[in-house]
Amino acid sequence: MLVPLLHDAEEDDRRIAQTIEDITHTAYIAQDGDTTVGAVVMHWDVDESEIVYIATVPSLRGGGYGKAIMGCVVDEARGRQVKAVYVGTANSSWPTIAFYQKCGFRMDSVRKDFFDYFPKPIYEDGIQMRDMLVLKLEIE
Ligand SMILES: CC(C)(COP(=O)(O)OP(=O)(O)OC[C@H]1O[C@@H](n2cnc3c(N)ncnc32)[C@H](O)[C@@H]1OP(=O)(O)O)[C@@H](O)C(=O)NCCC(=O)NCCS
């Protein structure tokens, strides 16, 4: 169930499955009543927690569920006394960069040439995926 939900966040389904199985990660399914609306995978750490994957059901995007899931992440982070949540995204993933900033994340750093390991160049909206932008949300 989680792998198809998260497929738009990571093309490699095997990698998603491995990440979920890794005991250092915690996966959550988001529901509105009986309806599954999305999922998020977290790596919790007091100093530097990380959103590994987050996705909402394609037909429900733009309906506020992404922000609602993020609200739950922040509440859980507070409960765990986490100081900051980080997320990494590609320089080419403009909609995702917009989404994180709408959720309060700020630019933190750039990991240049992070995506060099791809055997062939990948483009999103005509922009080559090259660098990883790291965004940070300080938890107050
Ligand atoms: C990124 C994603 C989780 C956002 O979920 P969502 O349910 O569409 O988000 P919301 O409806 O809560 O939108 C929250 C805000 O982000 C903005 N936003 C969401 N998608 C956007 C887009 N494609 N372009 C611009 N802004 C966007 C919304 O306009 C909204 O802004 P507002 O608060 O001013 O109204 C969803 O698009 C998704 O699952 N994408 C595929 C997976 C992915 O790329 N995950 C991230 C990498 S791990």
Tens-level pLDDT at each residue, the chain (140 residues): 899 999 999 889 999 999 999 999 999 999 999 999 999 999 999 999 999 999 999 999 999 999 999 999 999 999 999 999 999 999 999 999 999 999 999 999 999 999 998 889 999 999 999 999 999 999 98
Question: Candidates 99, 103, 122: which one to mutate for ligand 1, based on the most atoms within 8 Å of Cβ?
Answer: 99
- CATH number of the domain at 131, please: 3.40.630.30
Distance between CA atoms of 20 and 91, rounded to whole angstroms? 25
- How far is residue 41 from each of residues 4, 10, 121, measured CA to CA in Å? 13, 12, 27
pLDDT of residue 19: 96
Give the gyration radius of the chain's Cα atoms. 15
Task: Establish whether residue 67 lines the binding site of ligand 1, counting it when its CB lies within 6 angstroms of any ligand atom.
Answer: yes
Query: Do residues 114 and 131 touch, judged by C-beta distance below 8 A?
Result: yes
Other CB atoms closer than 10 Å to residue 92's CB: what's the count?
A: 19
Task: Establish whether residue 105 lines the binding site of ligand 1, counting it when its CB lies within 6 angstroms of any ligand atom.
Answer: no
pLDDT of residue 135: 98
Instruction: Report the domain count for the chain.
Output: 1
pLDDT of residue 121: 94
Range of the domain at 57: 2-138
Span from the CA of 46 to the centroid of ligand 1 (angstroms):
26
- Tell me the two tokens of residue 138: 């300080």
